[in-house]
């Protein structure tokens, strides 16, 4: 349990959390208002992330050249850099690739959740795991069924939903911290 002093310190941060909530909610609304632009932004962000990660991995590999895994570390760095470069140089193709990856992930996790739910059958609540698995499977099928249209919008819609979800979470945390500040 936090002391009164710790509670007041935590509570004093409620304004920053509220600002974070508003920024996240506005970002989510904007992403849902223009899913293509949000998909492009997500693809470019992923491209930069992979490119920077690849460069760091290559640098790290050359710092330990006497290591037996040097070639693997170097290959991983080069591959990661190439993936980032491809996403940055051709973001439309990158959106297609990332959308297919998202659809496959939904399908795989959906199958895994369904199988997991069946193993949980004697436990109460197992049906919720089953429902979650079916939802994941349906999302994967819907993405692939609407391909290539989905490639231009799915990443942006998912980003918008995630930002809205985070914004709502941050808002509730801010309201809770505000109550702490009053103690």
Question: What pLDDT is attached to residue 11?
Answer: 63
Instruction: Report how far apart the first and last C-alpha atoms of the chain are (Å, whole number).
Output: 14
Question: What pLDDT is attached to residue 40?
Answer: 92
User: How far is it, in rounded angstroms, from Cα 54 to Cα 46?
Assistant: 12
Question: What pLDDT is attached to residue 177?
Answer: 78
Question: What pLDDT is attached to residue 4?
Answer: 58
User: How far is it, in rounded angstroms, from Cα 125 to Cα 137?
Assistant: 19
148 cis-preceded (ω within 30 degrees of 0): yes
**Count of structural domains, the chain:** 1
Checking if the pLDDT of 7 tops 60, the result is no
- Identify the residue whose tokens are 């990443």: 155
Which of 38, 20, 39, 16 shows the shortest CA–CA distance to 167?
Answer: 20
pLDDT band for position 170 (cuts 50, 70, 90): confident
Strands (E), the chain: none
Q: Would you say 94 and 87 are in contact if contact means Cβ atoms under 8 Å apart?
A: yes
Question: What pLDDT is attached to residue 109?
Answer: 93
Task: Tell me what the mean pLDDT of segment 10-20 comes to.
Answer: 81
Question: What pLDDT is attached to residue 45?
Answer: 92
Question: What pLDDT is attached to residue 154?
Answer: 87
Which of 51, 32, 147, 35 shows the shortest CA–CA distance to 100?
Answer: 147
Which are the contacts of 117, defined by CB distance < 8 A and separation ≥ 6? Answer: 126, 127, 129, 130, 132, 133
Question: What pLDDT is attached to residue 98?
Answer: 87
pLDDT band for position 10 (cuts 50, 70, 90): low
Please write the tens of the pLDDT for every residue from 35-46: 999 999 989 999
Which domain, by its residues, includes 123? 4-181
Please write the tens of the pLDDT for every residue from 55-107: 999 999 898 878 788 889 899 999 999 999 999 999 998 899 888 998 999 99
Please write the tens of the pLDDT for every residue from 102-159: 899 999 999 999 999 998 888 888 888 899 999 989 989 998 998 888 888 888 888 8
């Amino acid at each position: 349990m936090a002391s009164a002093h710790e509670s007041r310190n935590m509570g004093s941060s409620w304004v920053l959390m509220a600002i974070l909530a508003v920024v996240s909610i506005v970002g989510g609304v904007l992403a849902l208002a223009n899913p293509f632009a949000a998909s492009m932004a997500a693809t470019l962000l992923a491209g930069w992330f992979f490119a920077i990660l690849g460069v760091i991995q290559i640098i790290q590999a050359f710092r330990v050249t006497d290591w037996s895994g040097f070639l693997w570390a170097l290959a991983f760095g080069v591959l990661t850099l190439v993936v980032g470069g491809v996403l940055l140089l051709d973001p439309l193709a990158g959106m297609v690739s990332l959308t297919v990856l998202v659809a496959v992930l939904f399908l795989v996790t959906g199958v895994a959740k369904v199988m997991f739910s069946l193993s949980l059958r004697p436990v109460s609540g197992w049906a919720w795991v089953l429902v979650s698995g079916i939802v994941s499977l349906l999302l994967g099928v819907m993405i692939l069924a609407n391909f290539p249209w989905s490639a231009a919008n799915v990443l942006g819609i998912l980003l918008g939903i995630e930002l809205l979800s985070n914004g709502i979470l941050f808002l509730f945390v801010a309201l809770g911290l505000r109550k702490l500040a009053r103690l």
